[in-house]
A and B are shown apart, each in its own frame.
Chain A
Amino acid sequence: MSVVTGGDAPPKVAYFNDPKVRSWAVQIALVVVVAYFAWQIFNNTVENLREANIASGYGFLDTTAGFDLSFTLIPYTESSTYGRAVMVGILNTLLVAVCGIIATTIIGFIIGVMRLSKNWLVAKVAEVYIEIMRNVPLLIQILIWYKVVLAALPSPRNALSVGGTVFLSNRGVTIPKFIWGEGSWMIVVGLVLAIAGIWWLYRWARARQAATGEQFPVFLTSLGMLIGLPLLGYLLAGGPLSFEFPEQGNFNLRGGVGLVPEFAALFAALTIYTAAFIGEIVRAGILAVNKGQTEASYALGLRPGPALRLVVIPQAMRVIIPPLASQYLNLTKNSSLAVAIGYPDLVAAGGTVLNQSGQAVEIISIWMAVYLTFSLVTSLFMNWFNSRMRLVER
């Protein structure tokens, strides 16, 4: 009763004990330190570049490159510009990354399922594969593919052929080339129509199943449309598409599309290395689905096939997708090891530009910007995909 507190004024706290003041002090100090270092680095760089007589800026990209690249997707000659050489590099990186991601997903899922097989030998083979591949550095694997496996293949003269269409030799892989004739657009129209039709069919079948419970064989119909409609376009246009098969000459293979051995080695090593990691991810994903889910679906009368397809895999995918996305990114970043065997990817082509022009800061900034864009796009796509697959909770 006698104790009277001094109104509602908060207890006085020393300024350095006030969390707000402290937080601002720390943040301002951090900004000052970072800004100081950034300014120092900038100043030093300008000074160093002036001493070395290097003009900074991206103007050098318009200069003639004067070197050749062994593998290009767009027209490129020695008289093209540095900028075009970097572009060739970006496209080559994308090519090996996309091909690698598709192939490694297929192999990885097969390995993951094999690892869980009840067949002892199959499971052991998958386990040994995983343990060997992921514990040997990727660079060694690339070099083994390039310098041992591909170098051991016969010369083009005695190239190994698969049915006379695909040839394997120490100059790389040669595959038939498509020749697009008059009226090929009809095939493309057929393909576009098929994709649109499948999309519509899928929505229609789902709506009908939701309404009536009747199922429709979507997969078989889609497959039929996907093959049938372009084929129809091909026939209507009078068969405009033809193949140019590679032929064996005395010294080299003539015709067809040649993939340089550097590409083949990089592709094989990246695919096989990453597949080991994906195999483990797939295995963990499938194991993460509670056994009760399978048993419950059997109790509801689902056969093993539909139970796996409709119950287990959709749930496993939720666990699989996030680490899978980071493996795709790893594969893309690892494709930069191409520089060790001379496949002209972004790092190798950019490195040649760097050596010739001396524009180190610019080239490295291009590298980092391109790879950061790749990872940003991949993670945005994967986040979107992941949010679609996510468990909808109340």
Chain B
Amino acid sequence: MSDLHSETSVAFVRTEQVPASPPPASTSGLQGWLRENLFPTPLQSVLTIIMGAIAGYILWLALDWAVFHAVFTGESGEACRGEGRQDGACWPMVFTRFPQWIYGFYPVAERWRVNIVFLLGVLSLVPMLTPTLPYKKFNAIFLLGVYPILTLLLLTGGHFDITASTWLTTFVFVAAVVLPILFLGFVAKIISPALAAISSAAIAGAAALLLVLFSIDFGLTYVETSQWGGLLVTLVVAVTGIVASLPIGILLALGRRSQMPVVKLFSVAFIELWRGVPLITVLFMASVVLPLFLPPGTNFDKLLRALVGVALFSSAYMAEVVRGGLQAIPKGQTEAAQALGLTFWQNMGLITLPQALKLVIPGIVNTFIGLFKDTTLVGIIGLYDLLLIIQTANTDSNWAAPQTHSTGLFASAALFWIFCFGMSRYSMFMERKLDTGHKR
């Protein structure tokens, strides 16, 4: 009995672990993935097959049009006409006209000026938008203070006709700003006299410097804004709109949260008026009615009129974005600032706005994406933005071909898509980056 036991027991005890078997083929690897994600139930399988068929068909149509049946080489519309050549895109048209899409009708000899503007913009914007790089403050001063003036001088050529009346108007405006500051500093003593004196001198000096800069002849040929076009106009409209809308939007947002009934009423009325109407009516207003509002005989640039319209329109949207940020800052921050004896503007400038604006960076980028897409509307009032310049190919007899329309439209769609998709990814990246301090 005991013998038998000793003989069998030892032989059946394993000394090492059984190696783990691989999971069943149906739950791992490609097969498992397919089964889990595409064919879990009969109903889902049918859905997958239908979806796959639709998606595949659309993809095939797109590839067929853009690649398989497309024409890639040629000198004129001749290459894209005729049997078997008009079923796909006409890419040579895009290649030939691409410089015009970027610069519009900007004189070829002067295009280096646009290139410098683009290059400087990229060189200062990239470090600005990369959170890890230093010198943000200097960069911001350059981007918001120096760069716009440089752009204006380079793109137009400068050497504006600055008359005595311009000096006089500027003097009146500067006085209107400087006198209250001096009053606050020396009579009311709300701000320190030294600060009042320095800021007044700075404002007056900057105004004078600007007028002098604008009147200097740098030897650049004057390029009218009617010659600008393409991506240049699109970027000028969008960037000016967003940069101008930021300060106005901040003021409106503060006004909307103000305790003063009149300030609040004006802010709400302004914001709701512009947000309630379509951009196209604002642009029509800017191009047709705005000249009527100004003293008789004043006539100013079509592009500038559109810019005014776009800036007013986008500042209403920006105000709502900034208001969202202000609402997200806990009340304790303001109360702590007041307890420390800070005034309203000190609190806003040093405590609340820096936090609020940081929070709404994704919102600002999203507003910019919307504005960038909306710049296509300026074509309706006759400015040659990217979309309109692409469409000029339709009336070019050199490129007369059946697919000129579709090639131009899909190419512009792709260009806009690249810009907007890139910006939306950046906005998502910033959202993740900033999503730290305010979640409890």
- What is the CA–CA distance of A44 and B296 in the complex, to the nearest angstrom? 7
Q: Are A135 and B420 neighbours in the complex by a CB distance under 8 Å?
A: yes
Q: B234 CB to closest chain A CB, in angstroms?
A: 10
At the interface, yes or no: B151 with Cβ under 8 Å from chain A?
no
Contacts between the two chains (Cβ within 8 Å), count: 151
Q: Is the CB of B406 within 8 A of A136?
A: no
Docked complex Cα distance between A361 and B290 (Å): 10
**Complex: how many Å from CA A17 to CA B266?**
24
Q: Is A139 an interface residue (CB 8 A)?
A: yes
A165 cross-chain contacts in B, Cβ below 8 A: none
A368 interface neighbour in B51, B273, B413, Cβ under 8 Å: B273
Q: Is the CB of B291 within 8 A of A337?
A: no
Closest to A355 in B: B288
Within 8 Å of chain B (Cβ to Cβ): is A103?
no
Q: Report A5-45 residues with CB < 8 Å from chain B CB.
A: 14, 16-17, 23, 26-27, 30-31, 34, 41, 44-45
* Cβ B276 vs Cβ A118 within 8 A: no
Is the beta-carbon distance between A354 and B295 smaller than 8 angstroms?
no
For the complex, what is the distance from the CA of A333 to the CA of B274, rounded to whole Å? Answer: 12
Q: How near does chain A come to B286, taking the closest CB pair, in angstroms?
A: 10
Q: Is the CB of B281 within 8 A of A119?
A: no
- B100 interface hit (Cβ, 8 Å): no
- Is A49 in the interface zone, CB < 8 Å from B? yes
Are A351 and B262 neighbours in the complex by a CB distance under 8 Å?
Answer: no
- Tell me, rounded to whole Å, the shortest Cβ–Cβ distance linking B415 to chain A: 10
Instruction: List, in ascending order, chain B residues with CB within 8 A of A336's CB.
Output: 278, 280-281
**Residues of the B chain whose Cβ atoms lie less than 8 Å from the Cβ of A23:** 259-260
Q: In the assembled complex, which residues on chain B have CB atoms less than 8 Å from the CB atom of A16?
A: 188, 190
CB distance from B95 to the nearest CB of A (A): 20
> Is the Cβ of A26 less than 8 Å from the Cβ of B37?
no
Tell me how far the C-beta of B188 lies from the nearest C-beta in chain A, rounded to whole angstroms.
4
Whether a CB of chain A sits under 8 angstroms from the CB of B44 is yes
Cβ–Cβ contact B38 & A375, under 8 A: no
Contact present for B288 and A354 (CB under 8 Å): yes
In the complex, whether A244 has a CB less than 8 A from a CB of chain B is no
Closest Cβ–Cβ distance, residue A107 to chain B (whole Å): 14
**Interface contact B412-A140, CB-CB below 8 Å:** yes
A333 pairs with B277, CB closer than 8 A: yes
Tell whether B410 is near chain A: CB-to-CB under 8 Å. yes
Helix, strand, loop or mixed for chain A's interface? helix
The interface residues of chain B lying within 8 Å CB-to-CB of A41 are 293
When distances are taken between beta carbons in the complex, the residues of chain B under 8 Å from A68 are: none
Task: Answer whether residue B416 sits at the interface, using C-beta atoms and an 8 A cutoff.
Answer: yes
From A17, A132, A333, contact of B190 by CB (8 A): A17
Once the chains bind, are A334 and B51 in contact (CB under 8 Å)?
A: no
Asked if A364 and B260 make an inter-chain contact with CB atoms under 8 angstroms apart, the answer reads: no
The verdict on A137 contacting B296 (CB below 8 Å), with A147-B405, A333-B278, A340-B380 known, is: no
Q: What sequence of 0s and 1s flags, for each residue 402-420 of chain B, a beta carbon within 8 Å of any chain A beta carbon?
A: 0001100110110011001
A residues near B374, Cβ cutoff 8 Å: 137
Q: Which residue in chain B gives the minimum CB-CB distance to A151?
A: B405
CB distance from A287 to the nearest CB of B (A): 15
Verify if A109 is at the interface (C-beta below 8 Å from B): no
Across the interface, do B292 and A49 meet the contact criterion of CB distance under 8 Å? yes
Asked if A148 and B296 sit within 8 Å, CB to CB, the answer is no
Instruction: Considering the complex, give the chain A residue whose CB is closest to the CB of B294.
Output: A44
Q: How far is the CB of A100 from chain B (nearest CB, A)?
A: 14
A47 CB–B CB distance under 8 Å = yes
Contact flags (1/0) for A354-391 with B, using CB distance below 8 Å? 10000011001001100110111000000000000000
- Does A214 sit at the interface, judged by CB under 8 A? no
The distance in angstroms between the C-alpha atoms of A141 and B413, with both chains bound, is 8
B424 at the interface (CB under 8 A from A): yes
Residues of A within 8 A of B288 (CB): 354, 360, 364
Contact of A44 with B293 in the complex, beta carbons under 8 Å: yes
A375–B271 CA distance with the chains assembled, in angstroms = 13
Contacts of B377 in A (CB 8 A): 139, 337
* CB neighbours of B405 from chain A (8 A): 147-148, 151
Chain B residues whose CB sits within 8 angstroms of the CB of A374 once the complex forms: 276
Q: Decide: A125 near B406, CB < 8 A? Known: A30-B263, A120-B38, A137-B373.
A: no
Whether A140 lies near B387 (C-beta < 8 A) is: yes
Query: Are B421 and A371 closer than 8 Å at their CB atoms?
Result: no
Interface centre among B47, B281, B285 (most CB of A within 10 A): B281
> Which A residues lie within 8 Å of B273 (CB)?
368, 372
Chain A residue contacts of B29, Cβ below 8 A: none
Contact B278 A371 (CB under 8 A): yes
Q: Is A259 among interface residues, defined by CB-CB distance under 8 A?
A: no
Please measure, in the bound complex, the distance between the C-alpha atom of A3 and the C-alpha atom of B380, giving whole angstroms. 78
By a CB distance below 8 angstroms, the chain B residues around A138 are 373
Contacting A at CB under 8 A, from B285-331, are 285, 288-289, 291-296
Q: Give the Cβ gap from B416 to chain A, nearest Cβ, in Å.
A: 5
Residues of chain A within 8 A (CB-CB) of B295 are: 44, 47
Complex CA gap A340/B409 in Å reads 14
B413→A144 contact, CB < 8 A = yes
4 further contact pairs, Cβ within 8 A, besides A44-B292, A121-B37, A361-B289: A122-B51, A141-B413, A144-B406, A372-B273
Closest 9 pairs (CB-CB, A-B): A120-B37, A135-B420, A333-B278, A137-B373, A27-B262, A336-B278, A375-B276, A16-B188, A139-B376
User: Contact residues of A with B, CB < 8 Å?
Assistant: 14, 16-17, 23, 26-27, 30-31, 34, 41, 44-45, 47-49, 51, 118-122, 125, 131-132, 135-141, 143-144, 147-148, 151, 333-334, 336-337, 339-340, 347, 351, 354, 360-361, 364, 367-368, 371-372, 374-376
9 A-B residue pairs with CB within 8 Å: A27-B260, A48-B291, A49-B292, A120-B38, A135-B420, A136-B373, A136-B420, A151-B405, A367-B281
